[in-house]
Amino acid sequence: MYTVDINRINEKKDLYQRGKKSIDMVSLFSYEKDFELTFTHNSTAIEGNTLTLMETKVVLEDGISIGGKELREIYEVVNHKKAYGYVKKCIAEGIKLNEKIVKDIHAILTENIIIGGIYRNQEVKISGAGHLPPVGNDMYNQIKNFYIELSRKRKELNAIEYAAWTHAEFVRIHPFIDGNGRTSRLIMNYQLMDSGFLPVSIAKETRLDYYNTLEEYAVHGNLEKFLDLIATLEEKQLDDYIKLIKS
């Protein structure tokens, strides 16, 4: 059983949606800007990017390159911000997550690093993981089935569970040669925001717990621990924004 009360979180989402128009615009902008920075830093750092939070801020907000850092690391944070902007644009246009959007997100994330948006034909091993991603025709069949399941799961699962499943199943398949983690966290937030929830950021300091919950799903098909992680982060986000709502 889940340890987080999904009904309580849904009630908080409804409270946030009813009251968000009364939030001071300056406060809202500062919260959203801070999230964008933190999310970009955490999501790239989880994958090994060595830029600090302050260095990420300087690159994204001031356009200043950081001495001693690989160009790839600079591109990773710049690209992530662009990809997140693309996600918000698609949601504003009312487009449901689909294969084209996923490939576009990956292509933006890997711009100037590798050619993105193309599924791998190589076998890959996830360092430290007991799960071996599918390869060849098996991988192609599984990623095609993933998009079919997106439509069905939307009707079967609650919104947070749906977002968590989207992330966990996509990264289990690992369809790209690189950038699967960053892509999966963006498409999870795509699903959350598309359902009226707030996006969440998984702190780089919690990456071990994060990896373990994903491993539990990949090996045993158990989504509960990962869902609890995402639901807890979502509730914290909602609590922070609800505090901004004027009485």
Whether residue 247 is contained in a domain is answered as no
Q: Is residue 148 included in any domain, yes or no?
A: yes
Domain assignment present for residue 10? The answer is no
- CATH code for position 36: 1.10.3290.10
- H/E run at residue 29: helix 25-46
- Give the whole-angstrom CA distance, residue 38 versus residue 56: 9
Tokens of 234: 């979502």
Residue 13 lies in a domain: no
Give domain status of residue 1, yes or no: no
| Residue 179 amino acid letter | G
Does 80 qualify as catalytic in the annotation? Answer: no
**What does the DSSP assignment read for 90-151?**
HHHTTPPP-HHHHHHHHHHHTTTTS--S----S----TT-S-----HHHHHHHHHHHHHHHH
- How many domains is the chain built from? 1
9 domain-assigned: no
Instruction: Indicate which residue of 41, 80, 167, 174 is catalytic.
Output: 174
Report pLDDT for 247: 55
The segments of the chain whose pLDDT lies below 50 read none
92-137 pLDDT tens trace:
999 999 999 999 999 999 999 999 999 998 877 676 667 788 888 9
Note the pLDDT of residue 135.
Answer: 87
Q: Is 12 within the bounds of a domain?
A: no
* Residue 69 exposed, middle or buried by CB count within 10 Å (0-12, 13-18, 19+): middle
**pLDDT at position 64:** 82
Residue 108 lies in domain: 21-242
Q: What pLDDT was estimated at residue 48?
A: 95
Quick one: tokens of 91?
């949601």
Assigned domain for 5 exists: no
